[in-house]
Amino acid sequence: MPDQFKALILNQEGENFKREIKPIDEKFLKTGDVTVKVHFSCLNYKDALILKNGARLVKEFPHIPGIDFSGVVEDSKHQSFKSGDEVILTGWRVGEIYFGGYSQYAKVNGNFLVKKPKNLDLRQSMILGTAGLTALMCSFTTKVTREELLLGEKVENVIVSGASGGVGSMAVMMLNKLGCNVTAVTGKNSNSDYLKSIGAKNVINTSEMMKDSRPLDKGLWDGAVDTVGGKVLENILAQTKDSGIVSACGNAADIKLNTTVMPFIIRGVKLWGINSVTASIKRRQFLWNEANKLIDFETLEKSIKEISLEEVIDIFPKMLKGETSGRYIINLNK
C-alpha cells in the first residue's frame, strides 16, 4: 500500500456539508480485518443521496461513501481471504455506517466480502453492483422459487415495473434469459426500443398501472418484479394469477400500499420482499455465480459511462434531478 492514496471525504460542521477528494493514509481507515485495493465502484441513487447531505444514513464524520466496490485483497487477517483474492462488496450498510468504496483502498469486515466468480471481471461486477444483485434476487424469487422451491407451475408471463431503472432493466434482461415473456412498465415511452432490445416482449406506460385497483382483476401475470410500490404494485397484485410471486424491492412511486387480502387468500399470491443489503453470503455467492449466464454485458455496455472519482462530484446532483441515464462506473485508477 502506498503512503498516501486518494479518497472522497464527506464532512459536516453544523449546517455546512462538505465533500472533497484528498489524499489520506492507512491510519485514516477505520476498523476491518481485510484491506482491499479498490479497482471499481459505481454511482447508485443512494450514493447520490448520501453525497448530497448524508441522507440521514451517515452517523459520523468524516466519512468515505460508496456502497459498492470490487477489487483485490491487499492484506487479510480473515480466514476466508488472502492477498491477491478478487472480491466484491455490496450492502451491509458499507458506505453508510462503515467507510465505503470511494477510495483507492478500503478496509472492511471480511464477513461482508464475496469472492468474485471466475466468469465475471471486476468491472462487470460493478456494472451490476447492488442493482444487479437486487435484480438477481427478484428474478430468481419470481421464477425459480415458484417453479423449483414451491414446485409450482411454469412461470411464463411476467411484468416488471420501473423497467427503465437499474434494477428494473436488469430484471427484464434476466427474466427473458430465464425464458419468460416480459412486459416492461416504464414512464418513458422513449425507452421502448431499448427495453425491447434487452428482452421485453411488450412495453406499457406507467400511467396504465396508476388507476385505482380492484380487489381482484383479470389474472394476467404468472409473476412480477415491482420496483416502484404504490398504485402500480396494487394493480400488479390484483392482476397476478393463482400462486404467482410478486417480488417487491422499491418505493419510487409511494411507500403506501392500499390493497386487500383478496389476492392472497383467493389466488394464493405471494408478496415477497427483497432486501439485498443483508442477504446471506451463501445466497450472494450463488447469485454472483449465476450472473454471467443471465446478463448480456455487450448490450449493457451501450448504457455504461466510466468516470473518475473526481467526476462523481459533478454528476451526482444531475442524477438526483433525473438528468442522467444509464449506469455510472467509477474507475478508482482513472
Residues 138 and 256 grouped into a single domain: yes
**Which CATH number goes with the domain that contains 27?**
3.90.180.10
Predicted pLDDT of residue 145: 95
| CB neighbour list of residue 321: distance below 8 Å, 6 or more residues apart | none
pLDDT, mean of residues 61-85? 97
> What span, in angstroms and rounded, lies between the C-alpha atoms of 249 and 228?
8
Q: What 3-state class would DSSP assign to 303?
A: helix
- Residue 283 domain flag: no
- Residue 79 domain flag: yes
Residues 313 and 215 grouped into a single domain: no
Residues 244 and 160 grouped into a single domain: yes
Q: Is 151 left (phi over 0), alpha (psi -120 to 50) or beta?
A: left
- What ranges in the chain are assigned the alpha helix state H? 45-53, 122-139, 166-177, 192-197, 230-239, 262-266, 281-294, 297-300, 309-320
Residues 144 and 243 grouped into a single domain: yes
> What span, in angstroms and rounded, lies between the C-alpha atoms of 200 and 157?
11
pLDDT digits (tens, 9 = 90+) for 197-216: 999 999 999 999 999 999 99
pLDDT range class, residue 188, cuts 50, 70, 90: confident
Question: 254 forms bridges with which residues in the sheet?
Answer: 229
- Residue 55 domain flag: yes
CB–CB of 116/122 below 8 Å?
yes
Residues 139 and 251 grouped into a single domain: yes
Residue identified by cell 472522497 is 8
> What span, in angstroms and rounded, lies between the C-alpha atoms of 138 and 273?
9
Number of folded domains that form the chain: 2
Segments forming the whole domain that contains residue 91: 5-116+296-331
**Burial class of residue 96 (count of CB atoms within 10 Å of its CB; 0-12, 13-18, 19+):** buried
Residues 103 and 213 grouped into a single domain: no
Residue 95 grid cell? 458506505
> Strand pairing of 68-76 and 86-90?
antiparallel
Residues 23 and 89 grouped into a single domain: yes
Report the predicted TM-score, pTM, of the whole model to 2 decimal places: 0.93
Give the phi and the psi of residue 111 in degrees, each rounded to 5.
-70, -10
What angle (nearest 5°) sits at the alpha carbon of residue 321, between those of residues 46 and 196? 80
pLDDT range class, residue 303, cuts 50, 70, 90: confident
Residues 259 and 186 grouped into a single domain: yes
Residues 108 and 139 grouped into a single domain: no
- Residue 282 domain flag: no
Who wins on pLDDT, 221 or 187?
A: 221
Predicted pLDDT of residue 51: 97
Predicted pLDDT of residue 311: 97
pLDDT digits (tens, 9 = 90+) for 109-141: 999 999 999 999 999 999 999 999 999 999 999
- Asked if pLDDT for residue 316 goes beyond 90, the answer is yes
Give the phi and the psi of residue 39 in degrees, each rounded to 5.
-100, -45
Residues 177 and 268 grouped into a single domain: yes
**Which CATH number goes with the domain that contains 143?**
3.40.50.720
- Residue 71 domain flag: yes
Residues 88 and 9 grouped into a single domain: yes
pLDDT digits (tens, 9 = 90+) for 280-292: 999 999 999 999 9
- Residue 124 domain flag: no
- Residue 284 domain flag: no
pLDDT, mean of residues 271-281? 96
Q: What 3-state class would DSSP assign to 223?
A: strand
Residues 207 and 156 grouped into a single domain: yes
What does pLDDT average to over the chain?
95
- Residue 121 domain flag: no
- Asked if pLDDT for residue 235 goes beyond 80, the answer is yes
Predicted pLDDT of residue 262: 97
